[in-house]
Chain A
């Protein structure tokens, strides 16, 4: 006789284990208030249908010491929904005027009292252990002031009555913190993020002048002041309707010009110093005069550079009136019209605040990562006195990135030599980067694996994902991809092994399904049913009822 109770004997999620422990200790159910206050911000706009579920998921948290601030951003009336919970931890800001999400979050932050801040969108859900998991890490297990977990992305059909029919739950991203990538692209889901409230005193509040990617903008600024601790546990879910999405953020992304402008704004945002986790870069831009070519190169720097920077422009004063005032982070440095290029660089260098100095001439070709490739090599270089020629550097258009101390030492020691020669004379080795030094190697391989998947070359994809698993971070994520690719390539035993490894650590619907399929092929129907029922529990949202 099969056990059809749906209780898996082999797998228990870390949340499950923690919950049992807490139940034994009497912490759950007793609503014991221990630990620092966590303020959860829940902005809402015209999603009355889902808000109750979102709020219930916060109030059901195993961690009880909460302040929950709901902000109605001028949307349909939700007062009944909020008041129906009759919970004193809830604060409701009922604004009639629509001012946007950034404004709403700032308004809520003005009332926040928690040591930590967490976020929840009005149509998403926390699992009961979400807050507890992140508080535990921030309080006990990490020097980080920011932590995040993984979430299921739930693809669903929305029925005419507004209810959601779940089609799949997938952990699409489970990525360890990568500061360099965060400057370029957001790999942290905001709903899974928790950070110390006092960090916002350093980063500044939400930028109300941008209307898309406001979460990345804030997370990117947090990167300047703290590492992020990744907890590879699934502690909630966010919803993605299968039909064309009516989300405001999705609609706004369709306006490409506006979207790009927002990205430029985000990438050029520099919080106030001192930065504790990031070194600044000063770009010394050399040109005889501010002509069209110089303007184009400057414009490209603005568009292509994602590492935080300021551009120093050493040139005679009469050029400055031609500067594009829209371009941020430009610092004009007046120089004597008769000074040499080396002298102009020296004048600018004396004013540079960055720990890294890039020297780049007008007309230099500006591709994506034009400076970050070499900068990344320099940041990770253990050699004390070396710099890097940029990849597109030539004798005519010579460009480099070097530590400020090294350049200052070279110029002080050999002020009469041209810059290049002075560095050489001072023993600063200037070289080109090696292939293994370029950034985003993980992404490069991931892209190759995805392309192989897309072309139906599943064996190749499986091989790539397994290689990444062994040689890079993000092992759970990569193992899941490798398992799926192996299965599609016909290597079912390999797929089962990989799935089992993932399931023992952190079961997901995908890996449970894969392992079950192989068990069924092996005629082990009892095990297959256990695995499938666990998957079905997750799909049906039983995780939400755990507490």
Chain B
């Protein structure tokens, strides 16, 4: 019988683990506090914690995204833009920072810029609901939907049953003449939220369009 164990290695290894310390703990606490306070609408406290986080970890983009959001909420668009730009500079892959810049542009009615920034944000993170809905709104404002449908579909694949995306997608399908796809999503939606009036109304509209289309097809066939 051979009993082996590697206690010597154990202690050496534990020492190595000790050396790999967690340098982000305090930063995480401050950032989480900022996010929580922002979520409950206490922007003064949120700002305070984001500022502390930024001082502690000056290379992190997170606090600047938070500060941008706080400035947006206070309608300080210039300050928000600066904060989001700093965040983009610190982390070129910060989807949230680009979404922030898009929101600033949207507030300024610069829909073209907003659309581009939302797209950039979604390229970095297709899972970003804020950017997705922002893109949808901007598209509505601009009257252009082609790219939005793609991102909404990707998001819904990742989050099946997310009602916040189902309704906009059904609306866009409807606008695009894709009635069957629109109907399917609306039926799923109403299974999840049967009292949603807008969805029920839209479904009625879609079914009407489908019936009309069917009738037109039949008429066309008879004509031939």
> B residues near A, CB below 8 A?
1-3, 5-11, 13-14, 17-18, 21-30, 32-33, 35-37, 39-40, 42, 45, 56
Contact = CB atoms under 8 A, between A and B. Distances in A.
A168 B24 contact: yes
Contacts of B7: 184, 368-369, 439-440, 443-444
Contacts of A516: 32, 36
A510 interface: yes
Contacts of B40: 2, 525-526, 529
B45 A446 contact: no
Which of A4, A166, A447 counts the most B-chain CB atoms under 10 A from its CB? A447
A525 B35 CA distance: 10
Contacts of A435: 3
Interface stretch (A46-54, A83-91, A134-142, A531-539): A531-539
A438 B7 CA distance: 11
A8 B209 CA distance: 59
Contact of B23 (A155, A439, A529): A155
Interface string A383-398: 0000000010000000
18 contacts: A2-B42, A167-B26, A169-B26, A170-B21, A240-B21, A369-B7, A391-B2, A438-B3, A443-B11, A447-B6, A516-B32, A525-B36, A525-B40, A529-B33, A536-B29, A539-B25, A539-B26, A539-B29
Given A513-B32, A535-B29, A447 B21 contact: no
Interface residues of A, number: 48
Interface in A351-375: 368-369, 373
A409 interface: no
A369 B42 CA distance: 60
Nearest to A368: B8
A451 to B, nearest CB: 7
A453 B39 CA distance: 32
Nearest to A517: B32
A498 interface: no
Contacts of A184: 7, 11
A440 B21 CA distance: 24
Contact of A166 (B8, B26, B33): B26
A447 B24 CA distance: 24
Which of B2, B13, B25, B29 counts the most A-chain CB atoms under 10 A from its CB? B29
Contacts of A533: 33
B14 A447 contact: yes
7 tightest Cβ-Cβ pairs between the two chains A and B: A168-B25, A447-B10, A155-B21, A167-B23, A440-B7, A368-B8, A532-B33
A423 B22 CA distance: 55
A528 B29 contact: no
Nearest to B8: A368
Interface string A268-304: 0000000000000000000000000000000000000
Given A432-B1, A438-B5, A520 B22 contact: no
A450 interface: yes
B8 to A, nearest CB: 5
Contacts of B23: 155, 167-168, 242
B159 to A, nearest CB: 15
A516 B36 CA distance: 10
Nearest to A435: B3
Contacts of B1: 432
B105 to A, nearest CB: 29
A467 interface: no
Contact of B25 (A169, A438, A439): A169
B25 A444 contact: no
A155 B17 CA distance: 14
B17 to A, nearest CB: 5
A509 B30 CA distance: 12
Contacts of B17: 450, 453-454
B5 A440 contact: yes
Contact of B22 (A168, A528, A539): A168
A438 B10 CA distance: 15
Contacts of B36: 516, 520, 525, 528-529, 532
A533 B28 CA distance: 12
A27 interface: no
Contacts of A185: 11
A513 B3 contact: no
Contacts of A169: 25-26
Interface string A170-186: 10100000000000110
B164 to A, nearest CB: 15
Contact of B9 (A153, A447, A517): A447
A261 interface: no
A330 interface: no
Contacts of A517: 32
B2 to A, nearest CB: 7
Which of B9, B22, B30 counts the most A-chain CB atoms under 10 A from its CB? B22
A335 interface: no
A203 to B, nearest CB: 24
Contacts of A252: none
A281 to B, nearest CB: 18
A520 B3 contact: no
A529 B37 contact: yes
A220 to B, nearest CB: 15
Given A391-B3, A454-B17, 15 more contacts: A4-B45, A167-B21, A167-B25, A168-B24, A169-B25, A184-B7, A242-B23, A443-B7, A444-B6, A444-B7, A447-B13, A513-B29, A517-B32, A520-B35, A533-B33
Contacts of B6: 444, 447
A433 interface: yes
A18 interface: no
Interface string A335-357: 00000000000000000000000
Which of B8, B26, B27, B45 counts the most A-chain CB atoms under 10 A from its CB? B26
A170 B25 contact: yes
Contacts of A4: 42, 45
Contact of A446 (B10, B33, B35, B39): B10
A454 B20 CA distance: 10
B26 A444 contact: no
Nearest to A304: B8
B32 A444 contact: no
B193 to A, nearest CB: 18
Interface in A127-155: 153, 155
A168 B21 CA distance: 8
A165 interface: yes
A340 B36 CA distance: 81
A445 to B, nearest CB: 10
A488 to B, nearest CB: 12
B25 to A, nearest CB: 3
B22 A446 contact: no
Interface string A37-77: 00000000000000000000000000000000000000000
A520 B31 CA distance: 12
A377 to B, nearest CB: 10
